[in-house]
Each structure stands twice: as C-alpha cells, then as structure tokens.
Amino acid sequence: MTKIDLPTIQSPLLAAIPGVRHAFFTRQGGVSTGIYDSLNVGRGSQDDPADVIENRARAARWFGVAPEDLNTCYQIHSTIAIVADGSWGDVRPEGDAVVTRTPGVVCGALSADCAPVLIVDPVARIVAAAHAGWRGALDGVVQAAVDRMVVLGGEPERMVAAVGPCIGPDSYEVGVDFLHRFEADCPGSGHFFLPGVSDDKRMFDLPAFVLDRLRTAGIEQREWVGRDTRAEEALFFSNRRAFLSGEGDYGRLLSAIALEA
C-alpha cells in the first residue's frame, strides 16, 4: 500500500522512537464539505458516509495500510481497553482504547475536544491509543490502557506517551459542580481548575489532568503537544465550538499509532 502525505502534528517524544509511526491528524486533507470540512473520520457523525469512508482510507494510507487495518472503537466515554490482534475492518467494538503488539495494525482514537492519548512501550513493542474526555480521564481510561499493555508484557516505566490536540485550559469553561465531582472522585485534583468569569464557573485544564493520570499510571516520559482544538478552527474540529456556534453536528479528528511492519 502506497503511503500518502497528509497534514499531521507529531509528538517529538514519540517521533524519536524507531519502528513506530504515529499521527495526530488535523481536519485538513480530506473530502468532506460544509461543517465537516475536510478530514472528518467520524462514522457517528451526520456527514456523507462515503466521504467518511474516503477520509478514513486516506488516513490508513498515510500509515501505508489498508482501510480495514485502521482500528477504532465505538467510543462511549468508558474505561474499556481492547486488544487488537488483527484488523477489525468495519467492526466497531464498544470501548475507548485500542492496544496492539501486532505490526501493521493501526490503533486509533477519535476526538473533537476530548484528549487523544498515544502510548508506546519501545522495548516490548506495544502501542495504544486512548480517548480521554473528562469522564473517561476521571474514571481511569488511561490506567486501563496501561494495564492492557502490561498484560501483553509492557512496563510503565519504559512507556512513552503523548496527549494530542484537545480543548485547552483557556477554552474549557465548566461549572463549579465539575470541581466538586473531581475532588470527590480524585482528591487533590482541584489545582487543575482555575477561577472562571463568575463564582459558579471554573476553567478546567484537561491536558494537564490527563498528563497527571499518565504519571499516576507510572509513565514519566509524557507530553502534551500544546494545541487547543477549540481555539484553532482552521486545524481542528471542536464539539464546544460547534455548540457555541449553533451548528447541529461536528467532525471528528483521528489520532493513531502503529508498529511498522
């Protein structure tokens, strides 16, 4: 399968690991139109299904694999991490993380403000992609992905992780009830919330919280790529931006990783 070029954002930490290919795709380089312009890979969106299929095929070709080798879940904001021993094709198991040690199998996560997380154990040759919205991050989807990697022979202290483009700390306004829930479920997490425009509002730092969940899981080598999906409309889809603009739907970004065959 011939590889093609698409606009991507790279993690310097992951890019330094030989034999691993990863991409935080932008919304550019696809065929979708309108509010889905242009690389919308969300099969759950209201976009033309044929355009989504073509966009996913283009992302697969960036990795040099067939479309059926791009494994993504039907994401439900859970802590379910699934091991992919081969290609899923059109099957979308419910879950929010994909793990593999099989070369040529692409693990992908979809997002549009939620934090995509890519993880590698470069010694055991295991990779994972996780979808971490606030709920999944709080409930433990990062730990679930790491645990699956450990079952396959991975060790957290060897792992390297990157958090991709997501809603940034200056863009994520939440109610004070969010702060109370986080403090109840994860004591000490209050420092990820800064004062908002009023007493009942807070600004939540999702990427910092996800990085902390990676640290708690034992991963010291980790980074956020520093890109805010809500603030950079030309590059990223954003659920929050679409809602505030009164749009009825939004596209989904792909973040993916694979062991080179």
pLDDT, average across residues 167-187: 97
For β-strands 8-9 and 221-224, DSSP reports them as unpaired
- What whole-number distance in Å separates Cα of residue 72 and Cα of residue 129? 9
CA dihedral 194, 238, 230, 16 (to 10 degrees): 90
pLDDT band of residue 1 (cuts 50, 70, 90) is low
- What whole-number distance in Å separates Cα of residue 164 and Cα of residue 204? 17
Provide the pLDDT for residue 30.
98
- What whole-number distance in Å separates Cα of residue 223 and Cα of residue 165? 11
Share of residues in the chain with pLDDT > 90 (%):
98
pLDDT, average across residues 147-176: 98
Domains parsed from the chain with CATH numbers: 8-169+205-259 (3.60.140.10)
Q: List the beta strands (DSSP E) in 43-188.
A: 70-71, 81-83, 97-100, 106-111, 115-121, 126-132, 160-163, 173-175
Residue 62's identity, in one-letter code, is: W
Helix (H) or strand (E) segment spanning residue 61: helix 49-62
Mean pLDDT check: name the lowest of 1-5, 48-52, 97-101, 227-231.
Answer: 1-5
Q: For the whole model, what pTM was predicted?
A: 0.98
**12-48 per-position pLDDT tens digit:** 999 999 999 999 999 999 999 999 999 999 999 999 9
Provide the pLDDT for residue 260.
95
Provide the pLDDT for residue 261.
81
pLDDT band of residue 4 (cuts 50, 70, 90) is confident
Mean per-residue pLDDT of the chain: 97
pLDDT, average across residues 234-257: 97
